Structure 1
Amino acid sequence: MTGGLMSTASPDVMSVLELLAGGAPAARFEELLRDARCEDASADTLAQLDQAVRLASRVQALVGHAQQREAGLAALVDTAHDLTLVHGMDALLYEITRRARRLLHLDMAYVGLRDAGEESRPSSIRAAEGETTSRSVGLKTSDDSGLGGLVQRSGAPAWSPDYLADRDIPHSPDIDAVVRAEGLHAILAVPLGYGATVFGTLYGADRKVRHFTPDEISLMRSLGQLAGVAIERARLLEETRAEVTELELDTSRARSSLDVQRRVEAAYIRLIDLVLSGCDPQTLAEAAVRELSGSLVVRDCVGRVVVTTGTPPELAEDDVLRWTYDAHAAGRPVPMSAGCWVAPVTAGGENLGAIVLVPDEPLTDGFGVRLLQLTARAVALILLLQRTSAVAHDQIRDELLDELLSDIRPQPRQLVPRARRLGIAIDEPHVMVVARPEGGPEGRAGAWASSYAHRVSGLMRLRDGCVTLLVPGEDPLAAATAVSEELAPLVGHPVTVGAAGPVSGPALVAQAHREALSCLEALTELGNLGGLATPQQMGFLGVLLSETHGIGEYVESAIGPVLDYDAQRFTELTRTLSAYFAASSSPTRAAASLHVHPNTVSRRLERITELLGADWQDPDRALEIQLALRLHHTRRTLQHRQASSGVAGDAGDQAPRGAGA
């Protein structure tokens, strides 16, 4: 035999491990199995060797899949960096198609875009690579035909292994003619967009029948997200150049305000030069306030202050938020009280934040207001440039949470170091929060969730209208309350929240997610929209919803002090409590069933009130206590039966609490 094995030794399981450790090709494993058959190995040896070979093949396949996935993510990060270096829309679109073609080893890739602000018009193919005819670029595609139409309507990827033979797709003669001319079969289409707006489609195609894998579809979708941000950035740069050109034209038309226009143009060009040189928001704000004079504050989309220059006066938060919303509604700077101004910071219709300016001198439309509006555009541009490089990092965070929530059992040795590199201590206590805004813009909730997850060193996912958050902490109710208090005012609608935990380590994250989701669904079924709940908070319903909090914990939370009192003092408070409820809350009838004086029952009930609180006889609380008593009695009965039959029970249940129960 070869590959480091002794020729005189019979092949065995260790031989398979040696080949696997040496990275031998698949053919060597089959050769090892054939050698064993030729050497007349025993049936048991052959069976073990055959099973080892099959398991080795699975290990090789898993390692190959992981390497392929890692290579795809690495290529995606490189793409995110390279797209920031491309200037000009045409060059950017060509680079996107080139990257898509190489990322998935496709025969052809092409991009379809709508004109800016023309959502009702059909898309047109703007760039292609790998084409063999001149019929693809310039092709018009409508929303009611082709894979692009499906993507534009749903905002989700669409694909077909054999496009022309696929009858589930709404076909168009024009599109089919181009597909036929190019000899295409398999086509994959993903949305291009920014925020909640889809403005185009990225296509990848093969000239053979091909079934795209989930990893390939996910990789193409991630490339589409990166490309959407880059295209929006390029559009914003083009609009900026148009603004400068417009300023120049206005200057030539209005000689009377030539000096003012020149000042605005010169100031804005200086700001844009700073942006293109890679400055941070603080440097840009300081340069802008030198032109405007005064104090300037930049706030993000959730109202947090991210940049401050000078010493702005104290302003009422409610007033600032109200004027900020007015500025976004108007799409231009608006005056506040006391001479302050608010300018919206937007990109592609998405709210990125606002600028609050407290000028030293009153602003005029001729210079100050116009320059403030252009400063807000420059701030939007720099935030967008920063976000381009962060998309790939966010994609890796999203992949980590998807793996933690998947049905496949996560591997702590792999996930814990990956999470640590992202600044997330997944092996320490975390709680799961699932929040559903009952109306309001989903894009605003997603932007808030992303910001919140970064702020608390957690993970987030937005799916099916629900925000899923895995955040550090040990109190799920406190985490749910914090999320509700921040998110509800932002979206302007009630937010229903379910939470669970705490859990430590990757293995329990999916379980906590199921429990939090069950609490959310229970609140919905009970009609308590806008409420929040955890398994611990929901009483006996929590026992049904939770996978970790069992009957023992429920009994402890309901009547634990009474059980402890009986166990320590050999009293009969638990038995008295059961008799009291069985007698329809009548102390006299309870005394008769216990064969004691009614005064004795009254004194015991007073002690129970001291242990459980004055509200223990309220209807809801009384129901919980009666259920806990019934569960406690049933558990003790089962334990006694197990003990008498010699069956060992759970060590935690062997010592019955409350001798007098």
Structure 2
Amino acid sequence: MYRDGAAEHDTEEPGLLAVLELLARQAPPGEFDELLHRVRGSGTTPARLARLERGVRLARAIAASAGRREQREAGLAALVDTARDLTFPYDVDGLLRIITRRARGLIDFDLAYVCLRAPGGVSYIRTAEGSTTALLAGLRLPDDRGIGGVAHAAGAPAWSADYLADDRFRHDDAIDDVVRAEGLRAVMAVPLRNGDTTIGALYGSDRHVRHYTPDEIGLMSSLADLAAVAIVKAGLLDQTRAEVTELELDSSRTRSSLTRMRYVSEAHSRIMNLVLSGGDLCNVAKAAGDALDGTVLIRDPGGRALVSGGELDDLDEEAVAKASLDAHAGRRPVVTGENTWVAPVIAGSEDLGVLVIRTATGLTEEDERLLELSAQSVAFLLLMRRSTAVAEGPVRDELLDDLLSETPHAPQQIMQRARRLGIDLSAPHVLVVARPEGGEQGRAVVWASSYAYRMSGLKTVHGGCVVLLLPGADASAAARAVSDELTPLLGHPVSVGAAGPGRDADGVARMYQEAMRCLDALTALNGAGSAASVQDLGFLGLLLSDDHDVDGFIESAIGPVLAYDAERFTDLTRTLEAYFASGGSPTNAAEELHVHPNTVSRRLDRIGELLGADWHKPGRVLEVQLALRLQRTRDVLVQQRTAPAERGGRDGTTV
């Protein structure tokens, strides 16, 4: 019996050893099948064949278990590598690409993608790996549809071996269309959870029917857990980076702002030092323009330019006027047009004018502040001027009062007093009398003090009128300038009379009397609120003037005609006399002159060219006739003075 058992053992040993050898070298399943085939063909007994087949089954089970263990170990190793990769500081998009790539490698998916949840119960695909179309990126996935909806609801992995044919969940047409376009069959979805919060889902798909094993589902879940933590941290890192970047920008802006504010402070200090050291408006305007890289124009309340730091071409006056009103109303600079700003020059509630600037580029917030400070500096300078004028006012008023008085005074002493005040009475000067028609004298007096100081003149008040002694030779221009500036300031009409020029101290009182008579003439002629000089009143000026400048009047009325006759030996003067004597009839004038009427017409045309087209209008006709009479009278008087002298010479006597 022992021998039989030994023999039996010997017979079975080679087959069992062969199974062990195949198992030891991890032979493929086909070699096990070949072993069974050889043993069946050797005529072995059924019992032995059954034991060998059972050994092969056990060997295959051991091999499968070892394979699963190796696959699990490989998956865990890959998962560890993935966890290590996820610790690097990726941004969110870069991290999602790593996750999808690892998912494809771990489970051998054809396609892997990640969707992240957004407010409103929807998710959007952020990253896809292995797609064949561009339809996945940005695809909207409702949280209650598809495999993802099941995973979100259960908080656990969900999968389908054949997605389109699976009716266990609600389908979405848009999702199904993309699945068809990509050719997908099997789909797995694993929620990305961070604590109790689901932030999205990790998907894996295959383009064939596939039943996912528990190990694959578990491995995918582990990857999803790691990915969720990494995504949250990456999001925080991105947020931190954005905040750091914003802080760096804020820091840069703060540094730039501090630099600009330091520049504004230094520029304002330079302008104020210029003001305090006695600089004039022109220098202040130039300094402000240099600081703001622009051209500055300073205007008074009436809109007239006081000083300009350069040329401002094509300035829209209407827009500037509107901006001036807005600037004073808001007490801040206002932009008008392209890179043109208007800043109010104010002192309390008093309007002192505006500062207009045109820059090469727009103004920053700091530049606007510097513009406001520059306008304040201009206001301060104007107030200083006014204060200086007011402080010197009594002395200057006393000098002009003395000049206007008819009491004799020492000329040398008067000239010395004037020189100490910066007044040169030997230079041409005019006298202007301004009478406010609204009765508001206070503001007019304050303005006159500043104006006289600015114009290097003198000011006083006589009989409710402001009296100004100003340098210059054009009394008419001086009267208009005073009216143009004072009338808008007071808001009611101002009558202005002027006389001059004069060149000595003794003539000031005479000019004052002429200016007052001119002012009275304006009132009598219903011209209150207008401005004129003695010269502007024509023959009335001749009557009002103390020196009765007959020669000047004749020259202004018919001087060109007299000069023409003298140069060309013509009879235009006689023609004018005959024309007026005949009642303005060229025919009757021709009979008196014994010439043809056409000759008279031609002479009258020539007179029109010399005197102007309006010479025959009533106002001019009166002046021309008066000038002809004065000229005729002067000629007669000259002849009367020369006749006795000529007779005395013939008689041998002397005159």
Q: TM-score, normalising length from structure 1?
A: 0.44
Larger-gyration structure (1/2)? 2
Q: RCO (CA 8 Å, sep 6+): is it higher in 1 or 2?
A: 1
